[in-house]
Structure 1
Amino acid sequence: MRSQDSPREAQVAARVTAGVTFAARLAFENVSHAFTADRRTLDGISLQAEPGEVLCLLGPSGSGKTTLLRIAAGIEPQTSGRVLLNEREIAGPAVFLPPEQRSIGLVFQDFALFPHLTILDNVRFGLTALSREEARREAHIALARVGLEHHALSFPHVLSGGEQQRVALARALAPRPAVLLMDEPFSGLDSRLKDSVRAETLAILRESRATAIVVTHDAEEAMRLGDRIALLKDGRLVQHGRAEEIYLNPANLFAAGFFSELNLFSARVAGGHAETAVGRVEARGLADGALATVAVRLSGFDIGSVEGAFEARVLSRRYLGVVELIEFAVPGAERPVRARIRCGALSPDARDIWLSLRNSDVLVFETGAENA
């Protein structure tokens, strides 16, 4: 049945400042999970989201991101380990609080809006502890927070994908949770909408002051949203920290490759350096004689004949707007070398050129340990 609100109720709600939550610290202590004895989805994850911060869980499909989110929400029990909210155990060997007692909100990947309910009724659906009037008031406040109070009496099908995402966010924020969990909330949006919706969502999270954990498989999205990033692979925590920490000092080749496309070269270390087809690079921390994998980001090449430059022949080029994606043949390289070169830096008829390495975009790992 369609909800009917008086003009006075709407005016009162519009004048109310959107409430904020008391942000909490959510911690995972040595959390493991397995569906079967031989299928381990999480392996000893220890991680915490600090009060008021946005923590992004990043990793490929099957890395355990969503499972960790479901464990935090109380939808899935862990096999071992503990989950704590402000140092209070909410899931562990002897305690398992149901979802409704955790003060944790959840935004699903597909938004999960009820098509037969108005936007207002969708938002107030979970406010069962409040009276009808109080729930309606809080729902109006939540919709005002996401800028959709004018759609209170509309139904989900008339809203765009971005607007539906904001409704789902309003519904999760309406109970004012201490922690908000978001499972790939932008994956269903048109690529043209993602930037604006992400920016709006981050602004809403800052205003609400809730601790937020966001699952994504997109490294750039994690860098845009997260105060910190936790990178997972095969149920294990590979590395966590601020975006620039992981990007500049990746723990291994997997971490480096997840944040940028790479050219890979094999080399033997001699005299603290590794000699590759694209130049001699420092192999800090590796013993002489060790086999190294040298990774060069696509942004790691400059054009011009300078000391240390090497010859390259243009094989193909694709215009991408600000940059061109160019493939080069390099003597001694087993496969074409790829580079992103700023448009205009290379003449349209260029064929044989000189390239040099930018050291800040070169990473060296010991072969065999680069994915550990």
Structure 2
Amino acid sequence: MPPETTPLLQVRDLHTTFPLRSALLRRTVGHVQAVAGVSFDIPAGGTLGLVGESGSGKSTVARTIVGLEKCAAGSILFEGEDLTSLPPARMRQVRRQLQMIFQDPYASLNPRATVEQIITEAWEIHPDVVPRDRFKPEVRELLERVGLNPDHAARYPHQFSGGQRQRIGIARALALRPKLVICDEAVSALDVSVQAQVLNLLAELREDLGLAYLFIAHDLSVVRHISDQVAVMYLGRIVETASQQELFAEPVHPYTQALLSAVPDPLPWARPPRTPIIIGGDVPSPADPPSGCRFRTRCWKAQDVCATEDPALEPRLGLHPAACHFAERRTELVVG
């Protein structure tokens, strides 16, 4: 689906912080910078893959967009409206167009509700979407669309497998006919074969319904198969962003290169063996991030300038934007 001139979602310089409280009297003694200046666009019908290791702030970005976390600074424009300044009544209307699929397909479903009750809850809150006399046929249609037996609408979540529960979560997300669906590690808890089934389902739904996705994952090989654009996050910031084809063909940021080197090669006999890039140390605390480049404490290219100057996210080597003073091409890391 060709993108529109104005992106469906525009995130600009997004900051999200959490208070650090003392054990005594629960006083605020500092703040954790979970998201520190993130910007990206998602066009109508497009998919942005947001990748990075655990603790990089990916899920916080998603939760801030839908209003589950409070934005400390920046703007979130959805169809031109800034979600950070909307009154509650208007935000409730806009939220219909923004739905989320959570990581754990069991914890995100009410164990005491049937599949039919889980799906129709959204229509109870927004009665103008589906008339009550259409609930049952609409539920059956949604279950068929996501590959489930419509005769199982009266069952409870514990009666389904993990992959089936995630399909229920997808059906719930589609109930309000959204324009953007945020997939927060939606396949990471599933077996590899089930992951492929869910990814194929998401791709089919995007094609059929014109959906846009923000697809969050820590596995680059998963992101590659569904994303148009990819943004790589590290410690609350985006360090590299490009089209899916360009990022995988010519990664230039050391962190992205390290992530790619860990992706298994599906054709190891057809290419020389790759030397994996091992990142030393632990992720620094977001409550006290390093000065300058946030990746410098674990980067094998780090020099003095990295500690004093925070590299801007801008085009490097005539290619796509990356936040690194010493960006370089590493085409031997490419996985076919």
- Whether contact under 8 Å (1:113, 1:156) holds in the other structure is yes
CA contact (8 A) 2:261 2:275 kept: no
The answer to whether the Cα contact below 8 Å between 1:216 and 1:222 also exists between their aligned partners in 2 is yes
Is the CA contact 1:127–1:175 (under 8 Å) kept in the aligned structure 2?
A: yes
- CA radius of gyration, larger in: 1
Q: Is residue 323 from structure 1 mapped to residue 268 from structure 2 by the alignment?
A: yes
Aligned residues: 260
Following TM superposition, by how much is the alpha carbon of 1:233 offset from its aligned partner in structure 2, in angstroms? 0.6
- The farther-off stretch of 107-116 and 43-52 is 107-116
Give the aligned partner of residue 104 of structure 2: 110
Q: Where in structure 2 are the equivalents of 1:146-295 lying within 5 Å?
A: 146-148=146-148, 149-261=150-262
Match of 1:55 in 2: 48
Mark the CA change 1:322 to 1:85 in structure 2 (over 3 Å): closer, same or farther. Answer: closer
Q: Which has the higher strand share?
A: 1
Shift of 1:45: 1.1
Gaps of 5+ in 1: 1-22, 263-297, 300-320, 329-336, 340-364
- Do the aligned residues in 2 keep the contact of 1:64 with 1:232 (CA within 8 Å)? yes
* Letter aligned with residue 57 of structure 2: G
Is the contact made by 1:72 and 1:83 (CA closer than 8 Å) also made in structure 2? yes
Matched position secondary structure for 1:126 = helix
Q: Is the 8 A contact 1:139 1:171 kept in 2?
A: no
Q: Does 1:33 align with 2:29?
A: no
1:355 alignment counterpart: none
Aligned pairs for 1:80-95 within 5 A: 80-92=73-85
Q: CA deviation at 1:72?
A: 0.9
Q: TM-score, normalised by structure 2?
A: 0.69
Q: Deviations over 1:25-47 (max 9, x none)?
A: 01101111111344211111111
Shift of 1:108: 1.2
Shift in Å at residue 205 of structure 1?
Answer: 2.6
Q: Which amino acid aligns with 2:37?
A: G
- How many Å separate the matches in 2 of 1:246 and 1:48? 17
- Which of 105, 113, 120 does residue 116 from structure 2 map onto? 120
Question: Gaps (5+ residues) in structure 2?
Answer: 1-5, 20-29, 277-299, 307-322, 326-336
1:67 equivalent among 39, 49, 60: 60
Q: How far apart, CA to CA, are the structure 1 residues paired with 2:177 and 2:62?
A: 18
Residues 95 and 241 of structure 1, relative CA distance in 2, 3 Å threshold: farther
Q: In the alignment, residue 27 of structure 1 is paired with which amino acid?
A: Q
Shift of 1:371: 5.6
Task: Mark the CA change 1:322 to 1:27 in structure 2 (over 3 Å): closer, same or farther.
Answer: closer
- TM-score calculated relative to the size of structure 1: 0.63
Distance 1:338 1:238 in 2: 22
> 1:9-20 counterparts in 2 under 5 A?
none
Aligned-partner Cα distance in 1 for 2:87–2:122: 24
CA deviations over 1:180-225 (Å, ceiling 9, x no partner): 1111011111223222222122212322211111110001011111
Tell me how far 1:99 sits from its aligned partner.
Answer: 5.1
Runs ≥4 residues deviating over 6 A: none
Structure 1 residue aligned with 2:145: 145
What's the secondary structure of 2:154's corresponding residue?
A: coil
Larger relative CO (CA 8 A, sep 6+): 1 or 2? 2
The structure carrying a bigger helix percent of its residues is: 2
